[in-house]
C-alpha cells in the first residue's frame, strides 16, 4: 500500500512537471503568435518568428508527455476529462495544427504570406484560449457518476471558463513579449518592451480575477485558502506573487533584457502553485482523487522505467537546442 501511494504521487509530480514545462515553454511561442499582428510586415515579423523557429516544435513535446502520462498513469481521470472537455481540447489541437502548418508554409509560399500569418495568429489565439477554457472547466468541476462523465456536452462553457481562457491568452502574450525583449534588438525590442508593460497589467488583473473567481466556485476552495491554520501557508503564494510582480515592474523600468522573461515564468509558477493548492489531492475536483484514478501498481512501475529514461533525454535535447541557438535573432532566412 505504501509503495502504491508513493508511485501515485511520483506520477502526479511527473505529469504536473510536464504540464508546467509545456505551459512555460510553448507559452512564449504561442504568445508571439498572439502578438504577431502588432509587428510590422517584413523584418519585424520575420525576426519575431525566427526567435522561436529552432525550438517551437520541441516545446510541444511536453504536451505529449503530459497527455500521454495522464492516459497511462491515471486512465480513469483521462477518460472523464477527455469526455467532459472534448470540444475545447479538439479546438486546441486544431489551433496547434493550423499554427504549425502556417509556421512552415509562410516561408515557402510568400505569395500567400498574409493568409499564413493570419492562420499563425488565429491558431495561436485559439490554442491558448482553449487551454485556458479547459483549465477553468476543470477547476469549476466535472460531474461524475459510476466512474464516468455524467454531465452535458456544453457544461464546460461558463463565464468562469471564458475568463480563464482570456487570462491564459494575456499571460502567454506577456511571455511572448518578454522573450522578444531577450532575443531581439532595436525597433523590435522597443516594441516588445511596450507590449510587455501592457500585458503585464492585464495579466495581473487576470490573476486577481481568476483567484477571486476560484474562491467563489465552492466552499472547498475557500476552506483550503482561507481557513486557519492553512491560511498561514497558502498566503505565501499571493505574497510571493506580489514580490515577483514588483521585481518584474522594476526590471522593465530598468530595461533589463533577460530578467523580465524569467520573472514572467516565475509568475506562471506561482499561478501553477495556486492551482495545485486548490486541486490537491483531486485530479478531477470533488470527484476523483489521484489515488481513485491511478493505474494498477505494476503498470505504474513499468511506465516509470520508461519515463526515467525519456524525461532526461527530453531535458538534454531541449537544453542543447536552446544553447545552440542562443543569442540575438536576425530577420533573414529560416532557423
**Binning pLDDT at 50, 70 and 90, where does residue 5 land?**
low
Question: Which secondary structure element, helix H or strand E, spans residue 174, and what is its range?
Answer: helix 159-183
Instruction: Report yes or no: 178 and 199 within 8 Å, Cβ to Cβ.
Output: no
**Binning pLDDT at 50, 70 and 90, where does residue 333 land?**
low
Specify the DSSP class assigned to residue 184: -
What is the arithmetic mean of pLDDT over 81-99? 93
Could you give the angle at the alpha carbon of 8 between the alpha carbons of 26 and 168, nearest 5°?
25
Instruction: Report yes or no: 308 and 245 within 8 Å, Cβ to Cβ.
Output: no
Q: In this structure, is residue 2 part of a structural domain?
A: no
Q: Which three cell numbers stand for residue 217?
A: 466556485
Q: In this structure, is residue 14 part of a structural domain?
A: yes
Q: In this structure, is residue 111 part of a structural domain?
A: yes
In the chain, % of residues over pLDDT 90: 50
CATH number at residue 137: 1.20.1630
Q: In this structure, is residue 39 part of a structural domain?
A: yes
Measured CA to CA, the distance from residue 152 to residue 150 in angstroms comes to 7
Q: In this structure, is residue 335 part of a structural domain?
A: no
What is the arithmetic mean of pLDDT over 215-226? 85
Mean pLDDT of the chain: 90
Question: Which secondary structure element, helix H or strand E, spans residue 282, and what is its range?
Answer: strand 282-284
Q: In this structure, is residue 3 part of a structural domain?
A: no
Measured CA to CA, the distance from residue 202 to residue 69 in angstroms comes to 33
Q: How many domains does the chain have?
A: 1
Cis bond upstream, residue 281 (ω within 30): yes
**Binning pLDDT at 50, 70 and 90, where does residue 331 land?**
low
What is the arithmetic mean of pLDDT over 221-234? 88
Statement: residue 271 has pLDDT above 90? yes
Measured CA to CA, the distance from residue 66 to residue 54 in angstroms comes to 22
Q: Which long-range contacts (CB under 8 A, 24 or more apart) does 17-22 make?
A: 18/62, 18/65, 18/66, 18/69, 19/62, 19/66, 20/268, 20/269, 20/272, 21/62, 22/59, 22/60, 22/62, 22/63, 22/65, 22/66
Q: What is the reported pLDDT for 1?
A: 47
Full DSSP string of 6-42: HHHHHHHHHHHHHHHHHHHHHHHHHHHHHHGGGSPTT
Q: What is the reported pLDDT for 106?
A: 85
Which domain does 162 fall in, by range? Answer: 9-325
Would you call 102 helix, strand, or coil by DSSP?
helix
Q: What is the reported pLDDT for 136?
A: 93
pLDDT digit string, tens, across residues 304-323 = 898 898 889 989 988 998 89
Q: Which three cell numbers stand for residue 132?
A: 485556458
**Binning pLDDT at 50, 70 and 90, where does residue 120 land?**
very high
Q: What is the reported pLDDT for 90?
A: 95
Q: In this structure, is residue 84 part of a structural domain?
A: yes
Q: What is the reported pLDDT for 204?
A: 96
Mention every residue, 6+ apart, whose C-beta is less than 8 A from residue 173: 31, 34, 35, 195, 199, 202
Q: In this structure, is residue 333 part of a structural domain?
A: no
Measured CA to CA, the distance from residue 200 to residue 253 in angstroms comes to 12
Statement: residue 209 has pLDDT above 70? yes
Q: What is the reported pLDDT for 47?
A: 87
What is the arithmetic mean of pLDDT over 186-206? 94
**Binning pLDDT at 50, 70 and 90, where does residue 329 land?**
confident
Q: What is the reported pLDDT for 104?
A: 81
Would you call 43 helix, strand, or coil by DSSP?
helix
**Binning pLDDT at 50, 70 and 90, where does residue 334 land?**
low
Q: Which three cell numbers stand for residue 72?
A: 497511462
pLDDT digit string, tens, across residues 152-168 = 889 999 999 999 999 99
Statement: residue 54 has pLDDT above 90? no
Q: Residue 284's beta-bridge partner residues? A: 288
Q: What is the reported pLDDT for 50?
A: 87
pLDDT digit string, tens, across residues 56-74 = 878 878 888 888 888 888 9
Instruction: Report yes or no: 274 and 266 within 8 Å, Cβ to Cβ.
Output: no
Distance, CA of 294 to chain centre = 24
**Binning pLDDT at 50, 70 and 90, where does residue 42 land?**
confident
Amino acid at each position: 500500500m505504501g509503495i502504491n501511494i508513493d508511485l501515485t504521487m511520483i506520477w502526479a509530480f511527473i505529469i504536473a512537471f510536464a504540464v508546467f514545462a509545456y505551459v512555460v515553454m510553448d507559452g512564449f511561442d504561442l504568445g508571439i503568435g498572439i502578438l504577431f499582428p502588432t509587428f510590422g510586415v517584413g523584418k519585424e515579423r520575420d525576426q519575431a518568428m525566427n526567435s522561436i523557429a529552432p525550438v517551437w516544435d520541441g516545446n510541444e513535446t511536453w504536451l505529449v508527455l503530459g497527455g500521454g502520462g495522464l492516459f497511462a498513469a491515471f486512465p480513469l481521470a483521462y477518460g472523464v476529462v477527455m469526455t467532459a472537455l472534448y470540444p475545447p481540447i479538439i479546438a486546441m489541437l486544431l489551433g496547434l495544427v493550423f499554427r504549425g502548418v502556417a509556421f512552415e508554409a509562410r516561408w515557402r509560399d510568400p505569395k500567400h504570406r498574409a493568409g499564413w500569418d493570419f492562420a499563425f495568429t488565429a491558431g495561436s489565439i485559439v490554442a491558448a484560449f482553449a487551454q485556458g477554457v479547459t483549465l477553468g472547466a476543470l477547476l469549476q468541476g466535472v460531474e461524475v457518476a459510476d466512474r464516468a462523465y455524467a454531465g452535458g456536452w456544453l457544461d464546460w462553457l461558463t463565464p468562469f471558463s471564458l475568463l480563464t481562457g482570456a487570462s491564459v491568452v494575456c499571460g502567454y502574450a506577456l511571455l511572448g513579449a518578454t522573450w522578444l525583449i531577450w532575443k531581439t534588438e532595436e525597433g523590435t525590442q522597443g516594441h516588445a518592451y511596450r507590449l510587455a508593460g501592457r500585458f503585464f497589467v492585464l495579466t495581473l488583473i487576470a490573476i486577481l480575477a481568476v483567484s477571486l473567481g476560484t474562491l467563489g466556485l465552492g466552499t472547498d476552495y475557500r476552506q483550503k485558502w482561507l481557513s486557519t491554520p492553512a491560511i498561514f501557508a497558502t498566503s505565501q503564494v499571493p505574497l510571493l506573487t506580489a514580490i515577483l510582480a514588483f521585481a518584474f515592474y522594476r526590471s522593465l523600468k530598468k530595461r533589463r533584457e533577460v530578467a523580465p522573461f524569467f520573472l514572467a515564468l516565475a509568475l506562471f509558477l506561482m499561478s501553477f502553485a495556486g492551482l495545485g493548492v486548490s486541486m490537491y489531492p483531486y485530479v478531477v475536483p470533488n470527484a476523483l482523487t489521484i489515488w481513485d484514478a491511478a493505474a494498477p501498481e505494476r503498470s505504474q512501475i513499468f511506465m516509470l522505467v520508461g519515463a526515467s529514461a525519456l524525461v532526461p533525454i527530453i531535458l538534454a535535447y531541449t537544453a542543447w537546442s536552446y544553447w545552440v541557438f542562443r543569442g540575438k535573432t536576425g530577420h533573414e532566412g529560416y532557423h
